[in-house]
Amino acid sequence: AVYQVNLVQHLSADFAGDPAALAARLSVFWPCTLAGEDWAIVSASPELFLARRGRRVWTSPIKGTRPLGEHVEGEKDSAEHVMIVDLERNDLSRVCEAGSVRWPELMAERELAGVTHLVSRVEGALRPDVGLAELLAATFPGGSVTGAPKIAAVDLIAELEPVGRGASMGALGTVRGNGDLELTLTIRTFAIGEGTIHLWVGGGIVWDSEPEAEIDESWTKARPLLAAIGARAPVDAVVR
């Protein structure tokens, strides 16, 4: 059974702009940019996927979204959020010292990337025998962009989403030679290439989700990003 699945919709448009200029327009969100020949990724992600300092590791999952200035409240938002926190706790428990995983922050309300979110922090002490490959294998992809249980949710995503996720819903950041790292989830992320700009937005779906409310939430996330490229999110926008 799948208790929550994170489904996304794909938006795209012709684009002849400068990725660096787009990053500058998103500067209030502290964007991360990666570019190569004829392609670029511009991410305004507010979500920490994974960080490591020595043996200390932590993640800060986000679930629950409202327009800026509104409070995130309701049993559904809380249930979705706690479900993902529990998933992240289980993931870290696979590679951390027994009894070291804890969640010092649970469902804190934060204003991030132009919207209001619920954010938690899950942390633990990494076992000495665990290397980078084992750490990423235990935690990737992030639970907030897949659902729970993770493997079943990923299988359902592959079945239901008509377009691949491309550069979105992955991870982007830095890994140092000593093993320390800081990776964000590539949500709120533009992928640019071959004259086209792409954006993926979505949210967690559970058994009592209301379709209209879920679509509204995805547009709430998209609007600050679309504004940066001079686009709008009309009610009848074509999604493909």
For the cut 50, the answer to whether the pLDDT of residue 239 exceeds it is no
pLDDT of residue 113: 66
Active-site pick, 63, 80, 217, 221? 63
Active-site pick, 47, 80, 88, 123? 47
pLDDT digits (tens, 9 = 90+) for 123-176: 999 999 999 999 999 999 999 999 999 999 999 999 999 999 999 999 999 999
Own/partner long-range contacts of 126-132 (Cβ < 8 Å, ≥24 apart): 126/52, 126/55, 126/56, 126/57, 126/95, 126/96, 126/97, 127/95, 127/96, 127/97, 128/55, 130/95, 131/179, 132/175, 132/179, 132/181
pLDDT digits (tens, 9 = 90+) for 1-52: 899 999 999 999 999 999 999 999 988 887 788 888 889 999 999 899 999 9
Q: Is 70 a catalytic residue?
A: no
pLDDT digits (tens, 9 = 90+) for 70-118: 676 677 778 889 999 999 999 999 999 999 999 999 989 887 767 788 8
Q: Is 47 a catalytic residue?
A: yes
Angle subtended at Cα 157 by Cα 22 and Cα 146, rounded to the nearest 5 degrees: 70
Strands of 27-170, DSSP E: 32-36, 39-43, 48-53, 56-60, 62-67, 102-112, 115-125, 147-148
For the cut 80, the answer to whether the pLDDT of residue 232 exceeds it is no
Structure tokens at 143: 């639970």
Domain boundaries, the chain: 4-228
Entry pTM: 0.88
For the cut 70, the answer to whether the pLDDT of residue 236 exceeds it is no
Q: What CATH class does 4-228 carry?
A: alpha beta
The mean of the pLDDT values for the chain is 90
